Amino acid sequence: MKKSGILYNTIQEYSWGSITELSEFLGRPSHIPKPMAELWMGAHPKAPSNVIVNGQSVSLLDIIEENPAEILGSAVANQFNNTLPFLFKVLAADQPLSIQAHPTIDQARVGYLRENNADIPISSPTRNYKDENHKPEIICALSTFWALNGFRPIPEIIEILSTIKSPLLSVFSQSLINEPNSQGLKIFLEKIFHMDSENRIEMVKEILNYAQFNINHDPLYEWLIKFDKLYPGDVGILSALLLNMVCLEPGDAMCLQPGQLHAYLHGFGIELMANSDNVIRGGLTSKHIDIDELLTILNFDETPVNIINPESISDTERIYETSAKEFQLSVINIIQEKPYLSHISRNVEIIICTSGFADLTDLSDNSILQLSKGDSVVIPASLNQYKIEGTATLFKSSIPLIS
């Protein structure tokens, strides 16, 4: 495959998804309202995109396996064992996702081997480690996007816990007050997660009673009540007290590192991540929860909120800088007078149009692909250079060039 190809992508219908956002974005109104959560673009074995090649619909996974250097570029093929190292998504969250974290690559390898040796099937709902990879992520907001991400400063956590009139919470938080550091936070969480059900129910009730009287004073109390309506009695509602509450506006992005406790709460955005399924959950979900494993992989250090704004590298392209080796996200804004011209040194790219109309021209033969809102395209490394003209906003996923 030496030409660009329009992608035909799978939509994941998770319960937390939006009934309207993705269908409206793609221009495909559904006659049967159902929550659509994620549009997957890439070569993930669970749901690879398809491309039309010689009149036939072919999996991008199969195309890469057949010609990895041609599609990925030789350097990427060598570095990532002939596989596409990222998964590109459009995400529509109408309800909160689970409280979760992802392992480091070393933790993933150990956990994957351990669960293999225990004969836990890859498809088992109780399996934590589906592969040997880590899962750094970046989320870029297309609408106002709410999330929890990383632990608040410990003095701030102590102040919040002390403010809430809950006798049980006061007892459990004493260990953090006595040891106001990451180790004290770990001990506090171990006690909270392992408390008996009677105390857990009573403590959650006390916290919610306080939240009801203070719902107009701070968004976190509103989220506490929302969490409990969805997952009654779940101690995971405490995450709103412990984690940074983040509100991204359109164009803002944030990165999620290994061991960073987080949850997406509500919004519509572009997500780019390493190609992994390793998720360790701690609450607010009907899926498998493994508290002991979560406590093993968590980073308990305070995590400042770092909103990433894109940096211009040309008149039309801006890059969201991260430390990830598996992916790079950029946004392309074009108008009629200012087309986008691709780099000559490049590797495989996937581009999605989020607004407007554009023509993508292969400069080797002047063939054109027309793109509009919701359309995505894969551009193989073997295509030397291309141009995008029109009036549109597009997001591009690629892999950082190896220097």
- Whichever domain contains 381, its CATH number is 2.60.120.10
Q: What is the pLDDT of residue 218?
A: 81
Mean pLDDT, rounded, of the chain = 94
Contact 12, 382 (CB under 8 A): no
Is residue 39 located within the same domain as residue 122?
Answer: yes
For the annotated catalytic residues, the residue numbers are: 281
CA dist 175 and 180 (Å) reads 8
Return the biggest CA–CA distance within the chain. Answer: 73
Q: What is the pLDDT of residue 403?
A: 61
Whether pLDDT at 34 is above 70: yes
Which of 297, 320, 354 is the last residue before a domain boundary? 297
SS3 of 6-27 = EEECEEECCCCEECCHHHHHHC
Q: What is the pLDDT of residue 274?
A: 96
Question: What is residue 73's three-state secondary structure?
Answer: coil
User: How many distinct structural domains can be found in the chain?
Assistant: 3
CA dist 45 and 60 (Å) reads 10
Measure the N-to-C terminal CA separation of the chain; round to a whole number of Å: 26
Question: What is residue 75's three-state secondary structure?
Answer: helix
Whether pLDDT at 31 is above 80: no
Whether pLDDT at 32 is above 80: no
Q: What is the mean pLDDT of residues 329-358?
A: 96
Is residue 111 located within the same domain as residue 14?
Answer: yes
Contact 294, 284 (CB under 8 A): no
Any domain includes 71:
yes
The rounded percent of the chain whose pLDDT value lies above 90 is: 89
Q: Which of 165-174, 192-201, 369-378 has the highest mean pLDDT?
A: 369-378
Q: What is the mean pLDDT of residues 352-369?
A: 96
Q: What is the pLDDT of residue 235?
A: 86
Is residue 144 located within the same domain as residue 158?
Answer: no
Is residue 25 located within the same domain as residue 65?
Answer: yes
Is residue 256 located within the same domain as residue 160?
Answer: no
Q: What is the pLDDT of residue 134?
A: 94
Confidence grade of residue 337 (pLDDT, cut at 50, 70, 90)? very high
CA dist 375 and 293 (Å) reads 39
Is residue 192 located within the same domain as residue 258?
Answer: no
Q: What is the pLDDT of residue 402?
A: 75
Contact 108, 134 (CB under 8 A): yes
Closest CA to 127 of 112, 145, 141: 112
Contact 86, 274 (CB under 8 A): yes
Sign of CA dihedral 70, 71, 74, 80: negative
Closest CA to 133 of 101, 91, 104: 104
Confidence grade of residue 116 (pLDDT, cut at 50, 70, 90)? very high
Is residue 325 located within the same domain as residue 371?
Answer: yes
Q: What is the pLDDT of residue 165?
A: 87
Whether pLDDT at 2 is above 90: no
Of the ranges 167-171, 307-311, 353-357, which one carries the lowest mean pLDDT score? 167-171
Any domain includes 11:
yes
Is residue 342 located within the same domain as residue 321?
Answer: yes
* Element housing 395 (H / E): strand 386-398
Is residue 66 located within the same domain as residue 133?
Answer: yes
Q: What is the pLDDT of residue 321?
A: 95
Is residue 90 located within the same domain as residue 209?
Answer: no
Could you tell me the two tokens for 267?
């919004």
Q: What is the mean pLDDT of residues 151-169?
A: 94
Q: What is the mean pLDDT of residues 30-45?
A: 90
Range of the domain at 120: 5-148+248-297
SS3 of 321-367 = CCCCCCCEEEEEEEECCECEECCCCCCCEEEEEEEEEEEEEECCCCE
Is residue 279 located within the same domain as residue 138?
Answer: yes
Q: What is the pLDDT of residue 339?
A: 97
Q: What is the pLDDT of residues 269-311, one digit of tens each?
A: 999 999 999 999 999 998 999 999 999 999 999 999 899 999 9
Whether pLDDT at 246 is above 70: yes
Q: What is the pLDDT of residues 55-84, one digit of tens each?
A: 889 999 999 999 999 999 999 999 999 999
Is residue 33 located within the same domain as residue 83?
Answer: yes
